[in-house]
Amino acid sequence: MTLILRNLGRAVPTMFAVSIVMFLLLFVGPNPLQQLQESTNLTATDIARLTEVYGWDKPWYVQYGTWVGNIAQGDFGTSMRTSEPALEMIADRLPLTATLALMSMLVSLCIALPAGVVLAIRRQGKLDTGAAFGSFLLLSTPGFLIAVIFQLFAVWMHDWSGSIVFYTGGGSQTGSFIEAFQRLTLPILTLSSMQVVAWMRYQRSETIAVLEAEFLLVARAKGLAHRAIIWRHALRNAFIPIITLAAMDLAHLLGGTVITETVFGLPGVGRLLLESVQARDVVVALDIVVLSAAFMVICTALADVLQAALDPRLREEEGR
């Protein structure tokens, strides 16, 4: 409870600071209507009139004050582009982004945990060396390039099989589970590949640290089998840090969805944020940022709670 309250106490000033910075970043700059001169028939008179209509002539603190006042009353505002309630727009796209983030986290954990353990057990061997090389290669490959590689794989599968196995992009309206699998598998693997290496290396370090702990020396002295030492004693302790790390990384993962959703054309919150920033739709962009900051606070609190739940030693310390 103390942890939760402490995190909540930090949340309000954090979100306030984030919102001001984001607002200034979005606001500082010229009237976004001006660039419509090149692509539309809007005349100078039209732009002058619409500037007033949309309030781009008001000072930044007036616009920010209006937004804060609305948020305080639970009104997250209306999109300047679509005139739709901003919260509805975000809520509509949230399930997809949440699915991408959670599923990629699961996939990453399923790969990183056992791989990290195996590499720790066989450290300094050929497998460990090869994995280190592969890790650096993957870490130095940008996320959008990984996405494109997966898309090319989808094209190859199509050419080889004569039908669509995985889609290269686009959302779906049908709700079919099979179609969702075809559309989301590659984006999930893309997101997962951006974090699995880091987690695998971390798990490897943690496992090595646990394998060298004194309590395992006692287990060996007692004559326990190697497999029992690893699976029954070592791993229970080695897995704890990475699960809490994953909980905290979940918030960062949402940021990674921007690239993945854009390349794969998925209608998620990440893509909505990018489009809102590009179009200077201040209300929607700010709402997403503030909600993300709130989510980050929740994830941090969750990580603290999980850690305490999984590690009795931390519960005892809190009790003191």
Partner 1 sequence: MKRTIIGVICSASILLASCAAGGNSNVAPIDHSRTVIFGIPQEPPIINTYLANGAQGVTQMMTEPLHDKWVRMDDTSTWQPQLATTVPSLKNGGVTVGPDSTTIRFSIRQRAKWSDNVPIECDDLVFTWKTIMSERWQISTRLGWREITSITCPTPHKVVMHLRGHYAPFLSSILDSHPLPRHALEGRNFNTYWNNRVTISSGPFIFESWKRGVDLRMRRNPNYWNDQDAAPNAAKMIVFKFVPDASTLKLQLRMEEVDMVALQPDSNLPTELARIPGVETSIVPGAGWEQLTYNMERAPTNNVHVRRAIAYSINRQTIADVVLRKQVTPLQSTLLVSQKPMYEPLWQRYDYAPQRVAQELQKAGYRRTGKFWTKDGKRLTLQFATTAGNPLRARLAQLLQVQLARSGIEMQIKLYTAEIFFSQIITHSKFNLSEFSFRTISDPSQSEIFACDQIPRAPNYHGKNDFRYCNRTVDELLRAADAELVPEKRAQLIMRMQRILATDIPTLPLYQPPDTLAYAQRVGGVRANAVGLHTWNADEWTVSEP
* 54-93 positions binding partner 1, by CB under 8 A: 54, 79-84, 89, 92-93
User: Distance between CA 109 and CA 125 in Å, rounded?
Assistant: 23
Find the binding residues for partner 1 in span 130-189 (CB under 8 A).
148, 151-152, 154-155, 158, 164, 167-177, 179-181, 184
Smallest gap from residue 248 Cβ to partner 1 (A) = 14
CB of 93 or CB of 204, closer to partner 1: 93
Instruction: Write the burial class of residue 274 (CB in 10 Å: 0-12 exposed, 13-18 middle, 19+ buried).
Output: middle
Smallest gap from residue 167 Cβ to partner 1 (A) = 6
CB of 53 or CB of 221, closer to partner 1: 53
CB of 25 or CB of 139, closer to partner 1: 25
The string of DSSP letters for 210-231 reads HHTSHHHHHHHHTT--HHHIII
Find the binding residues for partner 1 in span 201-260 (CB under 8 A).
none
CA angle 35, 41, 44 (to 5 degrees): 65
- Draw the binding track, 286-315, toward partner 1 (x: CB under 8 A; -: no contact): --------------------x--xx-----
Find the binding residues for partner 1 in span 105-134 (CB under 8 A).
106
Partners of 85 in the beta sheet?
78
User: Distance between CA 168 and CA 151 in Å, rounded?
Assistant: 5
Partners of 78 in the beta sheet?
85
Smallest gap from residue 19 Cβ to partner 1 (A) = 22
User: Distance between CA 103 and CA 54 in Å, rounded?
Assistant: 40
Q: Which residues have CB under 8 Å from 108's CB, separation 6+?
A: 192, 195, 196, 199, 246
Find the binding residues for partner 1 in span 260-289 (CB under 8 A).
262-268, 271-272, 275, 279-280
Find the binding residues for partner 1 in span 33-52 (CB under 8 A).
33-48, 50
User: Distance between CA 254 and CA 259 in Å, rounded?
Assistant: 10
CB of 85 or CB of 121, closer to partner 1: 85
CB of 135 or CB of 192, closer to partner 1: 192
CB of 155 or CB of 228, closer to partner 1: 155
Smallest gap from residue 260 Cβ to partner 1 (A) = 11
Contact at 8 Å (CB) between 270 and 97?
A: yes
Contact at 8 Å (CB) between 178 and 225?
A: no
